[in-house]
Amino acid sequence: MIVVVDYGVGNIASVLNMLKRLGASAMASNRRSDIERAEKLILPGVGAFDAGMQTLRKSGLVDVLTEHAMDKRKPVMGICLGSQMLGMRSEEGSEPGLGWIDMDIVRFEPREHRKIPHMGWNETVAAHEHPILHGLTDLENPSRFYFVHSYYMSPRDNSNILLSANYDQVFAAAVVKDNVFGFQFHPEKSHKFGMQLFKNFVELI
């Protein structure tokens, strides 16, 4: 069972739709008992960093999520704001993040010819091989994902970078640390590429 954490922030219906199309057993829940039973967890999110962290803390789920991600090593996928919340802090606000990956969230600096937010399709490049990237690392046909963000993930250790993209600068489009994955883009809006990514997550052992 995959549980999509329903803490009131995120595009949950689209994520569930993708998982159901793959035949995966999945549900959205904010109940501790469901999170404890889950084999894998997905943390979605849209909007501002502080609001997301405050809402997650008010849900009372931070401790159980941390236990199952950090101690029990269940696979966790963070999406968009959910990926940023995996880090330490964000320039967007003052709230601390979950701290599961040693990274800060940094704002794109305004530049001539670069609109903020970064919105639309962009190609990604794999930093290294990983089972979750199966079928997505063909250099002749780079994977493309749909982005909407003004801030990006900046890991202190480059080995945590899983995918990179270029928006007038190279930035981390996806990060990984052991069983925890963060995807800055929206796989649930990324058609066949997003479907393949969800398939790989479902099949992770």
- For residue 87, count CB atoms less than 10 angstroms from its CB and return exposed for 0-12, middle for 13-18, buried for 19 or more: buried
CA distance 79 to 67: 19
Q: How far apart are CA 45 and CA 147, in angstroms?
A: 13
Structure tokens at 27: 């549900």
What's the CA gap between 82 and 86, in Å, rounded? Answer: 7
Exactly one of 68, 80, 92, 149 is catalytic; which is it?
Answer: 80
Q: Which of 68, 92, 149, 188 is catalytic?
A: 188
Which residues neighbour 48 within 8 Å (Cβ) at sequence distance 6 or greater? 81, 92, 93
Contacts of 30 (CB under 8 A, 6+ apart): 5, 6, 7, 8, 59, 61
113 is catalytic: no
95 assigned to active site: no
User: For this structure, is 80 an active site residue?
Assistant: yes
| First-last CA distance in the chain | 13
- Positions annotated as catalytic residues are 80, 186, 188
